[in-house]
Amino acid sequence: MAKKYPAQNFLNRELGLLEFNRRVLAQAEDASVPLLERLKYLCIVSSNLDEFFEIRVAGLKEQAKLGGLASGPDGLEATQILKRLHAPTHQIIARQYQLFNEELVPALAEQGIKFLRRTKWNEAQKEWVRDFFLREVMPVLTPIGLDPAHPFPRVLNKSLNFAVELQGKDAFGRNSAKAIVQAPRVLPRAILLPPEISGCPHGFVFLSSILHAHVGELFAGMEVLGCYQFRVTRNSDLFVDEEEMKNLRVSLQGELPQRHFGDAVRLEVADNCTPAMSDFLLQQFELKAEDLFSVKGPVNLVRLMRIPDQVERDDLKFPPFSPGMPTLLQKKGADMFKAIRKSDVLLHHPYQSFKPVIDFIQQAAADPDVVAIKQTVYRTGSDSELMEALINAARGGKEVTVVVELLARFDEEANINWAGRLEAVGAHVVYGVVGHKTHAKMLMVVRREDGKLRRYVHLGTGNYHPRTARLYTDFGMFTCNEEVCADANEVFTQLTGLGKASKLKHLWQSPFTMHSNMLLAIRNETRLAQEGKRAQIIAKMNSLLEPEIITALYEASQAGVKIDLIVRGVCALRPGVKGLSENISVRSIIGRFLEHTRIFYFRNDMAHNLYLASADWMDRNFFRRIEVCFPLLDEKLKKRVLDEGLKTYLKDNVQAWEMDCNGFWHRMTPGRGSPVCAQTELLHELGQPLAIAED
């Protein structure tokens, strides 16, 4: 039976996620952020909210159907949480559209980037739009009139649709009053017009405006009384019955297409939609009034994310940067194995390049002395040099083993495709352990040197994904330390074979030892504080939710341990509560890069123990995933991580937010002191001149 903790000591996860999105939205509100980047942040909030409804709200609705008993440490039942989410979700979305319409659109227009409204098109624009509609849009549309022979269609998750009100009879004498038009996903949601037509350097027309203007072409001889955008968000959590499943890949391939047609959880409509049509749509999707979001503008802001890429205005974007390279690897074509034999190599992304990781696998694939390569894959993208290198290695006769996590949310299809390609060239592909996602970031190369086999390992906090390595902050470490490599090999053996878990010398592993070792490290600081010694914990992660860890931190605080937590997303711990957590501070950094590093520092009576991990302090990471936490054994690298990954972030007073005991966040300001922006400082410190930028 799960241990119970006082509910008042914990904050709610879902409300915490909404607070995180408020912090991201603040970036879109910030006039000091480049204009096109502000538009991106606005789109990121929409993307985050989509997933919030698809997963978190959908899960709560499922719980509510089953009785909605409290399942989290905060003691709230599903129905209570859903009620509490209603006001803040509507507030955030209303603020998004207010910001879009009243600030961003006018500011963009001043820079020659305009969204041309249908009511203000001139004759040349009308002609261009009509031609585009007839040539590019109309051929791929399938209008569906609603009558007994044509019931309401299955509407894809998050797709753009139009509800059309009609009057009159069609060619068959039918008198249908409603029709649905689904906009194909292949069409862009904002179309760039030629400058000579738009009258500005960058003039865009929304696909919704084009359809509004010409929807009558789809219903010849009938009168269009109204045309209303709508979009439905559905439950997108995949269900695979592990007891009935015989082949995970086959089961998942059968389940993936159904993701687009899960139960509806949210309906978005344009603000011109009539109450009668809104009620009709709610009825069709079996939703309630509180699930309706009426918005002033495009119902899918996410698709506007592509606009900055279509506008060549570097002055309206973050300045370009070039990732740096560790000294050992600065020479072009540097031998990765020789460099790692000299000393452990640490990479701090995106400030330092991800290219050495690609070079490492490519060199291993081409090296005749390499006999085996093993790697875990959680997210790597649909186009990956790393995966191509593994395929080439397998083609070349090397023993290639890849642990592919097929249940990496929203990357399932890409991972299935890579698994198929790897198997086709003879690689060993395994899918980890059923019931435990493989989230560890591990890569091992076995090389024959001087008649013996030597192992080289890369361990990291982030995915093997070159694109996100330019956007996410992460650490990665190369080592050929025999004990660390032996530990990594043991984890790979567990993932691919069968047998009891062996004791590891350096690595902490979920679901076996990471949770207990974290608790021991926290409690050790508590003991030291009780003995009158200085005790300190600094931890950086994406989320903090696990109740036993939080309780141990409360106990450490009460003993006098100084605890600084840097939590990007949701935090269930209440800091600064008298008698409970007075010695705990919680901050969040929201900036140009998505903070993704997991770093755990324990002072341990001047031993200064420091660990990097793939895991957050969440139940799922400790108990339902295969994760790895590894120590920094090299004192120079330990100091680097402490300085770059923790101390610099604790000094930030530009992009930092501090959380109060009620879960509300307050943005820090430099005040009279000098402004300190951690991400900017690290770019200057670790980057390199653009003249020697990587390709």
Looking up tokens 């670790």 gives 686
CA 23 vs. chain centroid, Å, equals 15
Q: Please give the pLDDT value at position 383.
A: 72
E strand map for 503-649: 508-510, 536-541, 562-567, 584-589, 594-595, 599-602, 609-613, 625-631
Alpha helices per DSSP H over 544-677: 547-559, 619-623, 635-640, 648-651
Six token digits for residue 103: 């600030």
Please indicate whether residue 349 is annotated as part of the active site.
Answer: no
Determine contact, residues 652/678, Cβ cutoff 8 Å.
yes
Six token digits for residue 685: 């410190």
Cα-flanking dihedrals φ and ψ of residue 456, to 5°?
-125, 140
Determine contact, residues 572/16, Cβ cutoff 8 Å.
yes
> Distance between CA atoms of 135 and 151, rounded to whole angstroms?
29
Domain 7-316 sits in CATH at 3.30.1840.10
> Distance between CA atoms of 348 and 357, rounded to whole angstroms?
12
Tally of residues, the chain: 695
Q: Please give the pLDDT value at position 177.
A: 83
Return the SS3 of 668: coil
Determine contact, residues 439/621, Cβ cutoff 8 Å.
yes
Q: Please give the pLDDT value at position 3.
A: 61
Q: Are strands 178-182 and 161-167 parallel, antiparallel or unpaired?
A: antiparallel
Q: Please give the pLDDT value at position 89.
A: 97
**End-to-end alpha carbon distance in the chain:** 55
DSSP label at 8?
A: G
Beta bridge partners of 299: none
Q: Of the listed 348, 439, 515, 596, which one is catalytic?
A: 439
Cα-flanking dihedrals φ and ψ of residue 25, to 5°?
-60, -30
Domain-by-domain residue ranges, the chain? Answer: 7-316, 327-503, 509-692
> Distance between CA atoms of 359 and 365, rounded to whole angstroms?
10
> Distance between CA atoms of 460 and 480, rounded to whole angstroms?
15
Q: Are strands 562-567 and 584-589 parallel, antiparallel or unpaired?
A: parallel
Q: Please give the pLDDT value at position 694.
A: 37
CA-nearest of 589, 560, 551 to 668 is 589
Cα-flanking dihedrals φ and ψ of residue 559, to 5°?
-80, -10
Determine contact, residues 422/388, Cβ cutoff 8 Å.
no
Q: What pTM value is reported for the model?
A: 0.92
Residue range 87-117, pLDDT digits in tens? 999 999 999 999 999 999 999 999 999 999 9
Same CATH fold assignment for domains 7-316 and 509-692? no
Looking up tokens 């001087």 gives 450
Q: Tell me the mean pLDDT per 10 residues along the chain, length 695.
A: 77 97 98 97 96 93 83 91 96 97 98 96 97 94 77 89 85 71 89 96 95 91 91 76 43 45 90 95 95 94 94 95 90 92 96 95 96 88 82 92 71 70 86 81 96 97 91 97 97 83 93 97 98 98 97 98 98 97 98 97 97 97 95 97 98 97 95 92 81 35
Beta bridge partners of 479: 457
Determine contact, residues 678/351, Cβ cutoff 8 Å.
no
Looking up tokens 């005749």 gives 368
CA distances from 228 to 164, 188, 285, 301 (A): 6, 18, 16, 16
What is the Cα Rg of the chain in Å?
27
Class of domain 509-692: alpha beta
> Distance between CA atoms of 20 and 542, rounded to whole angstroms?
11
> Distance between CA atoms of 579 and 557, rounded to whole angstroms?
9
**Superfamily in which the 327-503 domain is placed by CATH:** Endonuclease Chain A (3.30.870.10)
Q: Please give the pLDDT value at position 278.
A: 97
Cα-flanking dihedrals φ and ψ of residue 666, to 5°?
-130, 125
> Distance between CA atoms of 623 and 52, rounded to whole angstroms?
23
> In sequence order, what are the residues at sequence separation of 6 or more whose Cβ sits closer than 8 angstroms to the Cβ of residue 152?
146, 180, 284
> Distance between CA atoms of 345 and 355, rounded to whole angstroms?
13
Return the SS3 of 486: helix
